[in-house]
Amino acid sequence: MTTSATRSKAYLDDRAHVFHSWSAQGTLDPVDLVGGQGSYFWDSNGKKYLDFSSQLVNLNIGHQHPKLIAAIQEQAAKLCTVAPQFANEARSEAARLITELAPGDLNMVFFTNGGAEAAEYAARMAKLHTGRHKILTAYRSYHGSTAGAIALTGDPRRWQNETGASGAVKFWGPYPYRSAFHSANESQECQRALEHLESVLMVEGPHTVAMIALETVVGTNGILVPPPGYLQGVRDLCTKHGIVMMCDEVMAGFGRCGEWFAVNHWNVTPDLICFAKGVNSGYVPLGGVVISQKIADTFKERMFPGGLTYSGHPLACGAAVASINIFKEEKIVEHARMLGKDVIGPALEKLKAKHPSVGDVRGLGVFWAIELVKNRETRKPFVPFNATGADAKPMLELAAACKERGLWPFTHFNRMHVVPPCNTPVEDVKAGLEIIDEVLDIADKHHEK
């Protein structure tokens, strides 16, 4: 049994002084993470874990990539920081590379410190560009936890943080497995979801809507891959009504879905793309908004009323430049695409066939969800929506079983997500999936026959 006398100093100082996010502080028992390499990390007791969460679905390039570390060190030796009003090589090159990867005429980048700020600034740009005040966002979405971003969010984390004055309006996005529209197939789900969105626009007044914001592939709230035609349908509605289309790719971008940007799967060009996380795998905090030329031109002669001290921080941008070049050199996007098509997707279908607790599997690249149920016929969730306390215990048991076996999972509500780094070797992915196979035997015991 571990006692306070055998705990590391880092752990003891953490418990005494660090205030953690999304947590009741007195219930925490954090792992003291001391090192990592590739797809693995280890704690102060030497226990090694296969990282099937990519930390927070941001470590797309894996732990301690030597070329990325060297690039940060090189930039630190050259210039550690610079105010946002100056031109800087690292910032300029990062912006150039990102816009080259983005579709259409998304030619400019506003840099932020993370994804939440990106969503905030996208909303501000859209409102100023259109002169309108409403933002439509989906239920089962997450856009960040700052004041504006949490208002755009469509999951329970919003409830205790709402101000009621954001102009955010919610709609139902497509979710074939649990359709809000009682659809029988993907095609029907696409049609009905678009009809619903058009109805929401009608009653809200499309002339009052500045932006429709959606995660290209919904992340934390289910890895919901849009059915064919849906994103183009949203694009068409936005074009028809002069509404800005924003795709939040904070999780889905930079290789996670087997493309540089997930929108590339459907050949759709939004007006704004929000990014963060995988742009440099969180080695240094960085996010941003990729901006269409039309919106950028709105502020050619008119001041944009916003800014951040660390916008385009050179260490972060230097890391982004290095990361993008490493992805190209090592063909990491192609590797992620292959993992989804040839390894993860087929393996999860086998798990679904084997385990009655698996209701649905879905995803792209290295961005997959296993949706667990207690009853396949009724699709009763393995744990209730937003479960806490005793209701959440079955999922907590599954997560603990994974960790005991050396796998660090990503779980949310009744789902287990398969989200390892984009460059994880095939043998490591297979090893992680074998552990999940073992753990699902535990989930099967809860199945109602």
Domain annotation covers residue 206: yes
If you average pLDDT over residues 124-132, what whole number do you get?
A: 97
Q: Are residues 158 and 73 in the same domain?
A: yes
Domain annotation covers residue 449: no
In this predicted structure, the answer to whether residue 215 has a pLDDT above a threshold of 80 is: yes
pLDDT digits (tens, 9 = 90+) for 181-205: 999 999 999 999 999 999 999 999 9
Domain annotation covers residue 191: yes
What's the structural domain count of the chain? 2
CATH of the domain at 397: 3.90.1150.10
Q: Are residues 179 and 314 in the same domain?
A: yes
Q: Are residues 176 and 297 in the same domain?
A: yes
Q: Are residues 302 and 179 in the same domain?
A: yes
Structural domain of 239 = 67-330
Q: Are residues 164 and 56 in the same domain?
A: no
Domain annotation covers residue 218: yes
pLDDT digits (tens, 9 = 90+) for 36-70: 999 999 999 999 999 999 999 999 999 999 999 99
In this predicted structure, the answer to whether residue 165 has a pLDDT above a threshold of 70 is: no
What share of the chain in percent tops pLDDT 70? 98
In this predicted structure, the answer to whether residue 5 has a pLDDT above a threshold of 60 is: no
Q: Are residues 47 and 101 in the same domain?
A: no
In this predicted structure, the answer to whether residue 161 has a pLDDT above a threshold of 90 is: no
If you average pLDDT over residues 418-443, what whole number do you get?
A: 98
Q: Are residues 406 and 357 in the same domain?
A: yes
Domain annotation covers residue 425: yes
Q: Are residues 139 and 170 in the same domain?
A: yes
- Write down the pLDDT at residue 443: 97
Question: Among the three residues 272, 301, 330, which one is the final residue of a domain in this structure?
Answer: 330
Q: Are residues 292 and 433 in the same domain?
A: no
- Write out the chain in H/E/C secondary structure: CCCCCCCCHHHHHHHHHCCCCCCCHHHCCCCCEEEEEECEEEECCCCEEEECCHHHHCCCCCECCHHHHHHHHHHHHHCCCCCCCCCCHHHHHHHHHHHHHCCCCEEEEEEECCHHHHHHHHHHHHHHHHCCCEEEEECCCCCCCCHHHHHHCCCHHHHHHCCCCCCEEEECCCCHHHCCCCCCCHHHHHHHHHHHHHHHHHHHCHHHEEEEEEECCECCCCCECCCCCHHHHHHHHHHHHCCEEEEECCCCCCCCCCCCCHHHHCCCCCCEEEECHHHCCCCCCCEEEEEEHHHHHHCCCCCCCCCCCCCCCHHHHHHHHHHHHHHHHHCHHHHHHHHHHHHHHHHHHHHHHHCCCEEEEEEECCEEEEEEEEECCCCEECCCCCCCHHHHHHHHHHHHHHHHCCEECEEECCEEEECCCCCCCHHHHHHHHHHHHHHHHHHHCCCCC
In this predicted structure, the answer to whether residue 1 has a pLDDT above a threshold of 50 is: no
Q: Are residues 273 and 398 in the same domain?
A: no
Domain annotation covers residue 23: no
Domain annotation covers residue 289: yes
If you average pLDDT over residues 415-440, what whole number do you get?
A: 98
pTM above 0.85? yes
Any idea which of 78-82, 141-145, 252-256 has the lowest mean pLDDT?
Answer: 141-145
Domain annotation covers residue 371: yes
If you average pLDDT over residues 328-348, what whole number do you get?
A: 98
pLDDT digits (tens, 9 = 90+) for 256-286: 999 999 999 999 999 999 999 999 999 999 9
If you average pLDDT over residues 10-18, what whole number do you get?
A: 95
Question: Among the three residues 282, 312, 330, which one is the final residue of a domain in this structure?
Answer: 330
If you average pLDDT over residues 396-402, what whole number do you get?
A: 97
Q: Are residues 263 and 369 in the same domain?
A: no
Question: Among the three residues 275, 303, 330, which one is the final residue of a domain in this structure?
Answer: 330
